[in-house]
Structure 1
């Protein structure tokens, strides 16, 4: 279709400081370092995408994404933006991996396709506003007293669930959770995320069993992702349900984990899956296997997180949302997009497409390249 031919693609570096360091077992994060893709068609449609690369998870940085994006842009220019499968296959043909920057192009293409169809992106994906979305709020890794104070504040702010970063020695992580439970009480929904920090199956089992008394909903990625063959043993021995995160990048990872009966939950992220195309395959596999699903992210702005929220509305098996990181930014570069309501509620945009853009003032001052 000549009208939907991709006419231009622009890449921008989006750099935003965080209010305070966000610490996980893989190390501290001090600032947002993302890449934004803006794609325009001959008939004036504009699609936006964003990725938040993570060196220790998807092996990408803002600089690698900016460079690899310059391989993608000339290859897609002149193609039909509505040929989603063909465009995304071209990205895979050009380079293996690089799921983060691929996700930004995937989101921009889906934004254009949904705008062209006149549908909100979740509806274009076959979803419905069948449920209210609510995000949890994450407590960064640190001393027990600081983690307790943050958890109490998040509870007072009305977040329906609190997620806690762990991944240290057994006695330290138990002390952290004991302090948090002393602050928020025994029943407020509590989730934990080790980010592979307990490393081995035996160590993870010991920590999980020690935490069993604290009424924890689930634990994300307790062991090194390379040890996924051991995850079923951890799940069988753990009093806390296990969610695969770093070990579940694409649909092939999901299929392996399901076949191994490795976990009870899967965490889907657009930046791990290369975007909607593969994320929806993961969701369908998880749904068919009877697993509970979560959609999360890295350090995306409300633009990338709005894309994640559209994904969360596309499949009823997606029950948990982890969309809190934009609340950690010192500034908000996004126009439109979802809004945070009371109690962690996510209020979605109602117009066609993604419904989110980056403010022109932010784009003008960003490092950029145009095709």
Structure 2
């Protein structure tokens, strides 16, 4: 399957409600779509969200990295020389992990089509269904309690709660949510780097004293503060999940070796795609560390790729792939089926994507 053309486009998908964290507010998904075409007429699909506040990747940067560096390295290459081709994506340009991820997943899509196998079977085939949590944005305690109760009524049994804006309210927010949804459902919290280490330890101990039954806390401190993350992990009564601190396999390995976190959150947009994500999983298997597979605010193309990986590997024990269900509509034809919390991977060759409605192609 010789690569003949790489096309780029944009999609815009409105969210059901505004998405608010300690870092940003988002009202719609505005993503870059990648199509890789072959001489045989096959098309592989990828997607990248411009999440500059986390990855540093803007829409213009993603487009420039693909057009200026990655696409020229791939044109004319054969997808069946997969090891060489997939490594070219990572070596074509430094950083630019979202651009790399979009191209990486499109190549895996094509390789699965070439092998006549779904990607999750190429990678391991551990299961066909997974269950995701759903995110409650940071707002007033009363509004967050209403949003959490709405999620429960939609069938979710695991709620991920954004905290960190006005940290003095964080315990009150969680108390209101726990009172609204009852004692049995799982609560995860995500501070998105908002706390200092001392503040994190104090708040987490307060939550434990109030018997709020928090399953885990995600990225309580600044991404580069590995020593701070390590101190929170050592003193927190609640397990710590590293997210923004983990981009590369080397980042993940360092955190595991230092025990700077109890778990690792893998996101394709941070690490650069399925290929490096598997390296993180391999390290986690060696160190006995459980992984969450998460996403940015993304539509179904890229989250679909994460679903393929989640269904392939048992080291992924927690799922945070709610991007598509936060959207008001789904422009993607084919791929995984998102039935609220229950996600079923496609059994079609590659990623199972048949097309995307509403693409605005770039010249």
Match of 1:298 in 2: 296
Structure 1 stretch 158-167 or stretch 14-23: which is displaced more? 14-23
Structure 1 unmatched ranges of 5 or more: none
CA RMSD of aligned residues (A): 1.4
2:184 to 184, 187, 196: 187
Cα deviation digits, residues 20-65 of structure 1 (max 9, x gap): 2100100111221211111111122211111112111110112211
Q: Secondary structure at the match of 1:55?
A: coil
The 8 Å contact of residues 295 and 322 in structure 1, kept in 2 or not, is answered as yes
Match of 1:204 in 2: 200
Q: Distance in 2 between the 1:223 and 1:314 partners? A: 31
Match of 1:368 in 2: 362
Q: Distance in 2 between the 1:17 and 1:332 partners? A: 10
Structure 2 unmatched ranges of 5 or more: none
1:153-172 alignment runs, 5 A limit: 153-172=150-169
Match of 1:310 in 2: 308
1:1-371 alignment runs, 5 A limit: 4-71=1-68, 72-129=70-127, 132-198=129-195, 200-212=196-208, 213-341=211-339, 344-359=341-356, 361-363=357-359, 366-369=360-363
The 8 Å contact of residues 10 and 362 in structure 2, kept in 1 or not, is answered as yes
Q: Secondary structure at the match of 1:225?
A: coil
The 8 Å contact of residues 303 and 357 in structure 1, kept in 2 or not, is answered as no
Q: Distance in 2 between the 1:349 and 1:183 partners? A: 35
**1:300–1:82 CA distance, 2 compared to 1 (3 A):** farther
Q: Secondary structure at the match of 1:214?
A: coil
Cα deviation digits, residues 210-233 of structure 1 (max 9, x gap): 111210100110000010122121
Q: Distance in 1 between the 2:290 and 2:311 partners? A: 14
The 8 Å contact of residues 53 and 101 in structure 1, kept in 2 or not, is answered as no
TM-score by length of 2: 0.96
Q: Distance in 1 between the 2:355 and 2:170 partners? A: 39
Q: Distance in 1 between the 2:32 and 2:355 partners? A: 11
Q: Secondary structure at the match of 2:108?
A: helix
Q: Secondary structure at the match of 1:39?
A: strand
**1:89–1:132 CA distance, 2 compared to 1 (3 A):** closer
Q: Distance in 2 between the 1:145 and 1:358 partners? A: 41
Deviation at 1:264, TM superposition (A): 1.1
The 8 Å contact of residues 201 and 230 in structure 1, kept in 2 or not, is answered as yes
